Amino acid sequence: MDPLTVYLGLGSNLGRREDNLRRAIELLRRYVRPRRTSSVYETAPWGFDRQPHFLNCIVEVTATIAPRQLLSAVKSIEREMGRRPGLRYGPRLVDVDILLYGDQTVESSDLQIPHPRLHQRAFVLVPLAELAPQLSHPALTMTVAQLADGVAGKDGVKMWGNPLL
Protein backbone atom coordinates (compact mmCIF):
# COMPACT_ATOMS: atom_id res chain seq x y z
CA MET A 1 0.00 0.00 0.00
CA ASP A 2 1.29 3.46 -0.88
CA PRO A 3 1.86 5.82 2.05
CA LEU A 4 -1.06 8.13 2.84
CA THR A 5 -1.35 11.16 5.07
CA VAL A 6 -3.74 10.45 7.91
CA TYR A 7 -5.02 12.78 10.63
CA LEU A 8 -5.75 11.43 14.09
CA GLY A 9 -7.44 13.26 16.94
CA LEU A 10 -6.10 12.60 20.44
CA GLY A 11 -7.77 13.56 23.69
CA SER A 12 -7.34 12.96 27.41
CA ASN A 13 -9.10 14.29 30.48
CA LEU A 14 -7.95 11.94 33.24
CA GLY A 15 -4.61 11.59 34.98
CA ARG A 16 -1.58 13.37 33.56
CA ARG A 17 -3.29 14.52 30.40
CA GLU A 18 -0.27 15.76 28.45
CA ASP A 19 1.73 12.66 29.37
CA ASN A 20 -1.18 10.55 28.12
CA LEU A 21 -1.07 12.34 24.74
CA ARG A 22 2.71 11.90 24.51
CA ARG A 23 2.45 8.19 25.36
CA ALA A 24 -0.25 7.64 22.73
CA ILE A 25 1.97 9.27 20.09
CA GLU A 26 4.87 7.02 21.09
CA LEU A 27 2.67 3.94 20.86
CA LEU A 28 1.39 5.02 17.44
CA ARG A 29 4.97 4.62 16.15
CA ARG A 30 4.42 0.85 16.16
CA TYR A 31 1.90 1.22 13.33
CA VAL A 32 2.39 4.57 11.56
CA ARG A 33 4.97 7.33 11.23
CA PRO A 34 3.97 10.44 13.21
CA ARG A 35 5.16 13.52 11.32
CA ARG A 36 3.88 16.48 13.32
CA THR A 37 1.24 17.56 15.78
CA SER A 38 -0.87 20.60 16.34
CA SER A 39 -0.45 22.63 19.46
CA VAL A 40 -2.17 21.21 22.51
CA TYR A 41 -5.55 22.73 23.31
CA GLU A 42 -7.60 22.59 26.48
CA THR A 43 -11.20 22.04 25.56
CA ALA A 44 -14.56 21.88 27.21
CA PRO A 45 -16.09 18.40 27.22
CA TRP A 46 -18.38 17.52 24.34
CA GLY A 47 -21.47 15.36 24.70
CA PHE A 48 -21.32 15.01 28.50
CA ASP A 49 -20.53 18.23 30.37
CA ARG A 50 -19.97 16.97 33.93
CA GLN A 51 -16.35 15.93 33.60
CA PRO A 52 -12.88 17.49 33.58
CA HIS A 53 -11.69 19.50 30.58
CA PHE A 54 -9.72 17.68 27.90
CA LEU A 55 -6.34 18.22 26.38
CA ASN A 56 -6.60 17.64 22.63
CA CYS A 57 -4.24 17.66 19.69
CA ILE A 58 -4.14 16.44 16.13
CA VAL A 59 -1.40 14.11 14.91
CA GLU A 60 -0.48 13.98 11.23
CA VAL A 61 0.92 10.55 10.38
CA THR A 62 2.04 8.62 7.34
CA ALA A 63 0.29 5.26 7.14
CA THR A 64 0.90 2.22 4.99
CA ILE A 65 -1.76 0.09 6.68
CA ALA A 66 -5.42 -0.14 5.74
CA PRO A 67 -8.02 1.91 7.65
CA ARG A 68 -9.43 -1.14 9.44
CA GLN A 69 -5.92 -2.16 10.57
CA LEU A 70 -5.38 1.37 11.87
CA LEU A 71 -8.67 1.19 13.77
CA SER A 72 -7.51 -2.04 15.43
CA ALA A 73 -4.19 -0.38 16.26
CA VAL A 74 -5.70 2.70 17.90
CA LYS A 75 -8.16 0.58 19.91
CA SER A 76 -5.23 -1.55 21.07
CA ILE A 77 -3.34 1.59 22.14
CA GLU A 78 -6.36 2.85 24.07
CA ARG A 79 -6.66 -0.48 25.91
CA GLU A 80 -2.92 -0.67 26.60
CA MET A 81 -3.04 2.79 28.14
CA GLY A 82 -5.86 1.74 30.45
CA ARG A 83 -9.01 2.87 28.70
CA ARG A 84 -12.03 0.83 29.72
CA PRO A 85 -15.54 0.78 28.29
CA GLY A 86 -17.73 3.37 29.95
CA LEU A 87 -20.09 6.24 29.46
CA ARG A 88 -20.25 7.39 25.84
CA TYR A 89 -18.44 10.76 25.59
CA GLY A 90 -17.45 10.34 29.23
CA PRO A 91 -14.09 10.84 30.93
CA ARG A 92 -11.16 8.86 29.57
CA LEU A 93 -7.41 8.46 29.87
CA VAL A 94 -7.02 8.57 26.11
CA ASP A 95 -9.14 8.72 23.01
CA VAL A 96 -7.72 8.25 19.52
CA ASP A 97 -10.01 8.99 16.57
CA ILE A 98 -9.27 8.48 12.89
CA LEU A 99 -10.40 11.77 11.36
CA LEU A 100 -9.18 11.67 7.76
CA TYR A 101 -7.41 8.92 5.83
CA GLY A 102 -5.98 10.52 2.72
CA ASP A 103 -8.99 11.35 0.58
CA GLN A 104 -10.64 7.99 1.27
CA THR A 105 -14.12 7.46 2.60
CA VAL A 106 -15.12 4.41 4.61
CA GLU A 107 -18.69 3.57 5.64
CA SER A 108 -19.19 0.57 7.88
CA SER A 109 -20.92 -0.10 11.17
CA ASP A 110 -17.72 0.30 13.20
CA LEU A 111 -15.69 2.74 11.10
CA GLN A 112 -16.62 5.93 9.29
CA ILE A 113 -14.00 8.04 7.55
CA PRO A 114 -14.04 11.00 7.46
CA HIS A 115 -15.06 10.98 11.11
CA PRO A 116 -18.83 11.55 11.00
CA ARG A 117 -18.83 14.41 13.54
CA LEU A 118 -15.57 16.08 12.52
CA HIS A 119 -17.39 19.08 11.03
CA GLN A 120 -19.32 19.65 14.31
CA ARG A 121 -16.40 19.60 16.73
CA ALA A 122 -14.45 22.76 17.42
CA PHE A 123 -11.99 20.79 19.55
CA VAL A 124 -11.02 18.89 16.38
CA LEU A 125 -11.33 21.61 13.75
CA VAL A 126 -9.34 24.33 15.51
CA PRO A 127 -6.16 22.20 15.90
CA LEU A 128 -6.69 20.55 12.50
CA ALA A 129 -6.92 23.99 10.88
CA GLU A 130 -3.61 24.85 12.54
CA LEU A 131 -1.95 21.91 10.75
CA ALA A 132 -3.80 21.71 7.45
CA PRO A 133 -6.10 24.69 6.81
CA GLN A 134 -6.37 24.06 3.06
CA LEU A 135 -7.05 20.34 3.38
CA SER A 136 -10.38 19.50 1.76
CA HIS A 137 -12.95 17.39 3.57
CA PRO A 138 -13.60 14.55 1.05
CA ALA A 139 -17.36 14.42 1.59
CA LEU A 140 -18.24 18.06 2.29
CA THR A 141 -15.90 19.62 -0.32
CA MET A 142 -14.99 22.40 2.09
CA THR A 143 -11.56 23.16 3.48
CA VAL A 144 -10.74 22.56 7.11
CA ALA A 145 -10.33 26.33 7.53
CA GLN A 146 -13.84 26.93 6.17
CA LEU A 147 -15.28 24.29 8.49
CA ALA A 148 -13.39 25.73 11.47
CA ASP A 149 -14.61 29.25 10.69
CA GLY A 150 -18.23 28.14 10.90
CA VAL A 151 -18.16 25.67 13.78
CA ALA A 152 -19.91 26.41 17.06
CA GLY A 153 -18.02 26.14 20.34
CA LYS A 154 -14.69 27.70 19.42
CA ASP A 155 -14.80 29.73 22.64
CA GLY A 156 -14.35 26.43 24.53
CA VAL A 157 -11.06 25.68 22.73
CA LYS A 158 -8.05 27.34 24.39
CA MET A 159 -4.37 27.10 23.40
CA TRP A 160 -2.67 25.15 26.20
CA GLY A 161 0.79 24.13 25.02
CA ASN A 162 3.27 23.69 22.20
CA PRO A 163 3.14 20.91 19.60
CA LEU A 164 4.27 17.56 20.99
CA LEU A 165 6.40 16.74 17.90
Q: What is the pLDDT of residue 45?
A: 86
Range in 49-58, 86-95, 118-127 the model is least confident about? 86-95
Q: How does DSSP assign 61-113, residue by residue?
A: EEE-S-HHHHHHHHHHHHHHTT----STT---S-EEEEEEETT--EE-SS-EE
17-28 helix and 67-80 helix, angle to the nearest 10 degrees = 140
pLDDT (tens digit per residue) in 137-156: 999 989 999 999 999 999 99
Does the annotation mark 97 as catalytic? Answer: yes
CA distance 57 to 23: 13
Active-site annotation holder among 16, 22, 23, 95:
95
Does the annotation mark 95 as catalytic? Answer: yes
Note down the domain range covering 127. 4-161
Q: How far is CA 161 from CA 80, 131, 134, in A?
A: 25, 15, 23
Average pLDDT value for the chain: 95
Does the annotation mark 68 as catalytic? Answer: no
Active-site annotation holder among 19, 49, 88, 92:
92
Strand partners, 100: 7
Residue 115, domain CATH = 3.30.70.560
Per-residue confidence band for 47, with pLDDT thresholds at 50, 70 and 90: confident
Share of the chain above pLDDT 70, in %: 99
Does the annotation mark 19 as catalytic? Answer: no
Active-site annotation holder among 83, 88, 103, 121:
83
Total of domains in the chain: 1
Residues comprising the chain, all counted: 165
Look at residue 62 and tell me whether its pLDDT is greater than 90.
Answer: yes
Contact of 60 with 25, CB cutoff 8 Å: no
Q: Which residues contact 154 (CB under 8 A, 6 or more apart)?
A: 122, 126, 148
Active-site annotation holder among 29, 30, 84, 97:
97
Range in 5-14, 26-35, 41-50, 130-139 the model is least confident about? 41-50
